[in-house]
Each structure stands twice: as structure tokens, then as C-alpha cells.
Structure 1
Amino acid sequence: MGHTLCICSRGTLTIDNKRYLFIQKLGEGGFSYVDLVEGLQDGHFYALKRILCHEQQDQDEAQREADMHRLFQHPNILRLEAYCLTERGSKQEAWLLLPFFKKGTLWNEVEGLKDKGNFLSEDQILLLLLGICRGLEAIHAKGYAHRDLKPTNILLGDDGQPVLMDLGSMNQARIQVEGSRQALALQDWAAQRCTISYRAPELFSVQSHCLIDERTDIWSLGCVLYAMMFGEGPYDMVFQKGDSVALAVQNQLSIPQNPRHSPALRQLLASMMTVDPQCRPHTSLLLSQLESLQPTAPDQHTTHI
């Protein structure tokens, strides 16, 4: 969808015959930029992700990211509004037009509370975790894994619903590794695409003959849960201090005692942070546990983050 793009005048552009006004830059990464734009027909705000494509492989990966978005029509997975490839000067850029979330990411929320000496309540954590898990279940059901789940890749809707984003690292859920060459290739891929302090132990040192499955996401989900509970990921400080995350994740995580958290929530976290991936739960089991733990207050559906 959409190979039509033109810069019509200063600050405006057209994608799929719809005009948008550039408002401001939102952020940038190594080879991508995100801008805030406004639809001139509908008045809605959008996030325009621009990926610099230096070679054909970059274009293929951007196309694949767009294809991953189009696989899903799910309230907990970010939808793609439009996609196009364009030439800007001597360079190619892939443009993904995405909904804009003014509340920002889960990390923005966690960090903002921490700066004030506060934390998410257990009820808020359980509601967020349920939505994130439902998004993951939808991804896993189609035979994929997210592979880069972290608080900065989870947006918050106006109603507080979590929405998974950045699907560029998604790949097949189950990878049968047969031989040291394939193991090393997967390990190198993970080093480039999976954020180190949220990366599952089995991706640091991939065995020559093993099965890597979607439960790498369950480990990452455990790290996200830890961040919601304690204001930072379990291995954030290890990384910041320059110590080895690869070594740290090989040991069973010690979960701090805190009266804010019930034994059930702590047990849920412990089950996700199991070093042996075969002992981690699948999303189906996590969802049944989470649904039974949800707050029972009559206003549970109107809880805002």
C-alpha cells in the first residue's frame, strides 16, 4: 500500500493521496527518525517513522516491518496506517505512518513515577501485564516472536491500554538450530536486534543443537514486569556499570522483597525469569493466571495509568 509520496511545499507531504503537515521531531535512532505529523483531512496526529535505506537489504527489512504490522488487527499491537518507499536526494527512505500516542511509552510512565518517588500499583501492573500478554499471544499465534520486548517498545493509549510497537525484530517463533554456524549466526543477529538487558539467556550463547522458541519473549516480559514493579529493569544497572549481562542472566534472579507486591505477583515474575526456557510458561498459561489475578473492583475497566 502506498508508493505515492511527494513533498508538496515546505512542511507538508502526501502519502496515498492524503496530505500531512510536519509538526516536530519526536526522536531518532541509529538509522531512523520519528516525526509528528498532522493529517490535513482528518486532523489526527500520526507518528511518521522514516528509515534510511543505504542498500537493498535495508529496504527489504523496512518492507518486512510493514508486513509484520499488517498481519495484525489487534488492540494491543500497533497498527500501520500507510507505508511507502521514496527517494530523498540521493538516498532511499522507507516511511511508516503510525498512530501517535500522546501518553508515550510504558518507560515514560515508569520513569516519571520513579522521579517522584512513586511506583505503579499492583492493580495497574496487572492490567498492563494482561494487555501486553494478549498482544504477545496474538504474535505467537501467528508463528512469530517479538524478540525485542521492553518498556520503550510499549506505548500507552489514552485509556492506559498497552500497545506493542517496533516489530522490526520479529522473526519466526521456533528456530531449530542445527550446527555451530547457524548457532553463531543467530547469536550475532540477537546481539544486533535484541536489547541486551532484556535479552533471554539462551540468545547470549546459542547452543549448536537446540530449539529457540517464543519463550524468549516471556523472559523479556519478566524484565518488563520487574521494571514496572521496581522502576528499572533487573539488568539495567549491570549493563550501566559495564558488568557482564551475559553472565548475570545465567543465575536465577533474586527478587527484592517489597510489601507493595503480593506473593502471587512475585511468583508470576519468578516463573517468567526462569533461566531454562523449557521451564518458562507460554502466554496461554500466563493469561489464565493473569485473568484470575485481575482487580475485582467495579471500576476496574476505568483504571487510568
Structure 2
Amino acid sequence: MDDSCDHGTKQYAEDDILREEPLQQQQEEVQEITSEMYERALLQEENTSLRAKVTTLEHDLRESRQEASEYQHLCQQLEKELKELRNNELQVKPKRLKVISDLLISVSKDERKEARMKVRHDSKRLGNAKVIRAGTVISETWEDGQVIKDLNARQRHFLELKEDIERQRKSLKKSQPDKGDGSDAESGAPEEDIIIQDEIYESRLASIKREEEFYLRERDRYELEKGALIYEMKRIRDEDGSRFNNYQILNHRYALLNLLGKGGFSEVYKAFNLVEYRYVACKLHSLNAQWSEDKKQSYIHDAIQEYNIHKTFIHHHIVRLWDFFEIDQNTFCTILEYCSGKDLNAVLKATPMLPEKEARIIIFQIFQGLVYLNKRNQQIIHYNLKPGNVLFDEFGVAKVTDHGLSKIMEDDVGSQGMKLTSQGAGTYWYLPPECFELNKIPLISSKVDVWSTGIILYQMLFGRHPFGHDQTQDRILCEDTIIKARKVEFPSSPSVSNEAKEFIRGCLTYNQEDRPDVLNVAQYPFVCF
């Protein structure tokens, strides 16, 4: 239509040149009409385009409304399905948890049965505890088993043999003739025969000594087994007497299994987290109903402090604390990382002296944990480092645990440290001299942990404590054993490196002012790999 209008306009222009002037007016009228028709055509085209757009928009709107309706329907259907799914999960989950829980309980029961059978079997070999009643007094004594009795009898036999041979040697020497005689005065035996007989006695004594040493090693081995048996007997007795021994599920997620150990006011159970599907250690703290309210509040305060300190620790060589909750008015629970290996105390009972290489890597790991505690914004003093508080996981990684006596170093303490507010607590073999000051409130710092680590290393290397080894806690306190521990002595055997001795001397520096702190000791060659 546009082309035809243009063509008509051109034609009228050509005729306008040929025609006379009167025709010009017609041409203008035609142009006006043509222009009006052109404008109408454009307007019609625009209207057509607009109508098409409106139609398209209406169609899109209808589709949008349909899609919105479908989307709303899908949302409703999805919500319904999710609701059904949640309902199904609520039905399935308890069943799943019940299956897992039943399986764990079955395995745990088998483990308990096996442990008790092993104790009965070992008791026949190694011995058993006997209860003795004397009027109203009841006491407990240990009766050795057949293996120990046989070893004791063998030792007595060796002793009798040696005594008999020594008597014969003395008799032989008494009967020896004077020099130059050449024969025995009584028997007429030549001096050469007497010398040979004495050599035979000497050889026999050496042979008996070798046999005796073998049986002494056997006895030591059985004594270690006996110690483990006594520990297991105590654990089983504690487990049988525990009110948590019936496979309870705590806080709707922690299935209690078997008792790992019992302390003064707490029990530690192996447990399984039914939500996160992993083993944990449940430490159950019990308040004595006979305690005064002040003592209860003090114990609760210490436990809460341990939780608040411990919950922030995230380190490879420190046992993690996962949870904390109340069970009843007098009992609460902390959930800890489970370490399936032994603690260092159990390791040293089985092997009292470790090779230096093994002892070194254990001390290195302990110091890695201590360095972490001392590089925090608020430094932490563990204060209760000892072999029983060093655990091993299934891969043999050492981890420091039990922060019940830990102290937070405040920012405003002096260079000597903070005041010791729990004097008398802790294990005395592992505490430094400043913790035993009675004439004033001691000031402590991370150097307490340095001393404790030095004691632990000494014990691992030499099989004994450097100070107060054969003493009880009370005797250590009464005799001022640690107060007098000014110099550490090293046995001649076993032989250890100068780096190990230097490390121990540094850790066991008597004066707190001169003793290096954790970060300084961490630079010693012995713990630098």
C-alpha cells in the first residue's frame, strides 16, 4: 500500500507540470486526500499491530495465569509430598535407631560376657581378691594364682640350689690343703681336682643365675598381667554397680555401652551417637547427695569451667568436647571425643620403660597441644598433666584430655603468673615445687605444665618418677618431697641421649623464675623435628 501511494503522488506531480494552473488546486486536494489516506493507512497498520500485540499479551497473560496456577498446584503438591515424607521419616527413623541400638547392645553384651570370662580364666592363673571378715571388720586381700605360685616355688628352688652350692664351695675351700702339700688332707684329692670342682660350682651358679633371670622376667611379665587383671576386676565391679549399666540412651541420641573407667566422682562410658553415627565417650559427673551445697556448687562450677574452656579447643592433639547436658539434679554429662587406644598410664604399666624414640614422639605431640593452648588469646594452664590424661586414638595419635583443673591466664597477671586457687588438687608426682608453698598463695603459669611434661618423659625413659617414686600422695606432702627436689639424677641404665637429658633438666628447673615456659621449651632440640 505504501508503494501505490508513492506512485500516485509522482504521477500527479508530472501532470501538474503539463496542465494549466486550475489543475494545481485539484492536485493539492488530491495530495491532501492522499496524505490523509496515507496517515489512515499508517494508523490502521499501527492499530493492527497494537491489536496483535494486545492479543499476544492476552495470550501470554492467560498462559502466565495458567502457569501460575500450575506452579501453585505444584507447590501445594510438593508441600504435601514433603509433609508425607517427614511423616514417613518420623516413622522410619525410630525403627532405624532401634535396629542400630539393638545391634550395639548385642555387641556390647557379648563384649561384657567375654571380659568376664577372661577375668575368670586369668584369675585361675594369676590370682583373685579374697574378702576376709574379722568380726565386724571386712578387708580384702590378694591370693596368687597357680602361675604366680609356681614361679615363686621356682624362685625358692633356685635360692635353695645356690645356697647348697655355696655351702659345698665353702666346705671345699676348708678342706683345701696348705700350699705345697699337693693333696687334700682328708680325701687325698689333688689340688688340681679341687680347682676343677670349684670351677664346676662356679659354672653351675652362672647357669642357675641365667635360669633365674629368665624366670624373673617371666615373673615381671605375669606381675604386669596381674596388674591389668586387678584393673579389669575393678572396672567390672564398678560397671556392675553403676546405675548407667543398663544401656540407656541419653539426651535422645547417646546410647551408653560399656564402662571405660571410674574416677572419684565421675564415670566414663563408651557410647554411640545415634544421630551422627560415631562413637563418643560419655563422662557422667555425679554429685554426692551428702555434700554440702557449697561443695556441690564448687564442683558444678569446676565442671562448667572445664566445659567453657574445653569446648573452644580444636586441635589434633587435644581431645574434643562435643556436648554438655544435665541428666538430673545431681548428675550431668559431658560428651568427649572417643579414643579407642590405651592411655599412657596403661601403656607404662604394660611396658614401664619406652625406647627413647617412642618417648620423644609422645612428648612432641603433648607439646604441640600445649603450644596451641599457650598461643590462644587467653593462655590455658592444663595443671593436671600426667600419663592417665594422655590418650591414644586408633592410629596411635596422642591427645591431651581432662581439663577439670585447667586455669585461664587473665590478661592482667604479672610475669610470675596467676594465683593458684586450687592448692592441694592434682597429682603430686607431676606438680612443681611452687604448687606446694604453704606460707603464701602460690603464683603459677604454663611452667607448671613444663615441669609435669619433664616428669612424664623421665618416667617413660626410666620406668619411675624422679621424685617420690615409692611414696604416697600423703607422704609426698608430709615429707616435702617435691619442695626438696632441687636436682634431678639420671640412672646409668638405660642410656639416653644428651638432648633428652637437657630437655628433662630444663623442664625440671627448680626455680620457677629460671624454668622455661611452654613456648621456650618447644624450641629445645629434643622436641624439634
Q: Which bracket does the TM-score occupy, shorter chain normalised? A: 0.7 to 0.9
Q: For residue 359 of structure 2, what is the aligned residue in structure 1?
A: 125
Larger radius of gyration: 2
Q: For residue 501 of structure 2, what is the aligned residue in structure 1?
A: 266
Q: For residue 405 of structure 2, what is the aligned residue in structure 1?
A: 169
Q: 1:74 is matched by which residue type in structure 2?
A: H
Q: Verify the 8 A CA contact 1:121 1:260 in the aligned structure 2.
A: no
TM value normalised by structure 2: 0.47
Match of 1:278 among 513, 520, 526: 513
Match of 1:113 among 348, 351, 361: 351
Task: Mark the CA change 1:169 to 1:130 in structure 2 (over 3 Å): closer, same or farther.
Answer: same
Q: Verify the 8 A CA contact 1:34 1:47 in the aligned structure 2.
A: yes
Deviation at 1:148, TM superposition (A): 0.7
1:141-156 aligned at under 5 Å gives the runs 141=375, 142-156=378-392
Q: Verify the 8 A CA contact 2:360 2:527 in the aligned structure 1.
A: no
Distance (whole Å) between structure 1 residues aligned to residue 447 and residue 498 of structure 2? 23
Distance (whole Å) between structure 2 residues aligned to residue 241 and residue 172 of structure 1? 26
SS at match of 2:313: coil
Deviation at 1:97, TM superposition (A): 0.8
Q: For residue 64 of structure 2, what is the aligned residue in structure 1?
A: none
Task: Work out which structure has the larger RCO, using CA pairs closer than 8 Å and 6 or more positions apart in sequence.
Answer: 1
Q: For residue 480 of structure 2, what is the aligned residue in structure 1?
A: 247
Deviations, residues 116-154 of structure 1 (Å, cap 9, x unaligned)? xxx322111111111101111122223220111100011
Verify: 1:231 aligned to 2:463, yes or no: yes
Distance (whole Å) between structure 1 residues aligned to residue 459 and residue 526 of structure 2? 21
Q: For residue 222 of structure 1, what is the aligned residue in structure 2?
A: 454
Q: 1:214 is matched by which residue type in structure 2?
A: S
**What is the RMSD of the two structures over their aligned residues, measured on CA atoms?**
2.8
Deviation at 1:171, TM superposition (A): 0.9
Using the TM superposition, name which of 205-214 and 273-282 deviates more: 205-214
Identity over aligned pairs, percent: 23
Q: For residue 77 of structure 1, what is the aligned residue in structure 2?
A: 318
Q: Verify the 8 A CA contact 2:285 2:332 in the aligned structure 1.
A: yes
Q: Report how many residues are paired.
A: 271
Q: For residue 265 of structure 2, what is the aligned residue in structure 1?
A: 31
SS at match of 1:168: coil
Deviations, residues 245-299 of structure 1 (Å, cap 9, x unaligned)? 56222231212233431111011111111110111112222222246654xxxxx
Q: Verify the 8 A CA contact 1:177 1:212 in the aligned structure 2.
A: no
Using the TM superposition, name which of 168-177 and 73-82 deviates more: 168-177
Q: For residue 112 of structure 2, what is the aligned residue in structure 1?
A: none
Distance (whole Å) between structure 2 residues aligned to residue 276 and residue 261 of structure 1? 25
Q: Verify the 8 A CA contact 1:132 1:162 in the aligned structure 2.
A: yes
Q: Verify the 8 A CA contact 1:25 1:35 in the aligned structure 2.
A: yes
Q: Verify the 8 A CA contact 2:344 2:392 in the aligned structure 1.
A: yes
More strand by share: 1
Deviations, residues 27-78 of structure 1 (Å, cap 9, x unaligned)? 1112111111122344422210011135333322211111111121111111
TM value normalised by structure 1: 0.79
Structure 2: unaligned runs, 5 residues or longer: 1-100, 103-245, 289-295
Q: Verify the 8 A CA contact 1:238 1:244 in the aligned structure 2.
A: no
Verify: 1:135 aligned to 2:372, yes or no: no
Q: 2:318 is matched by which residue type in structure 1?
A: I
SS at match of 2:326: strand
More helix by share: 2
Q: Verify the 8 A CA contact 1:39 1:45 in the aligned structure 2.
A: yes
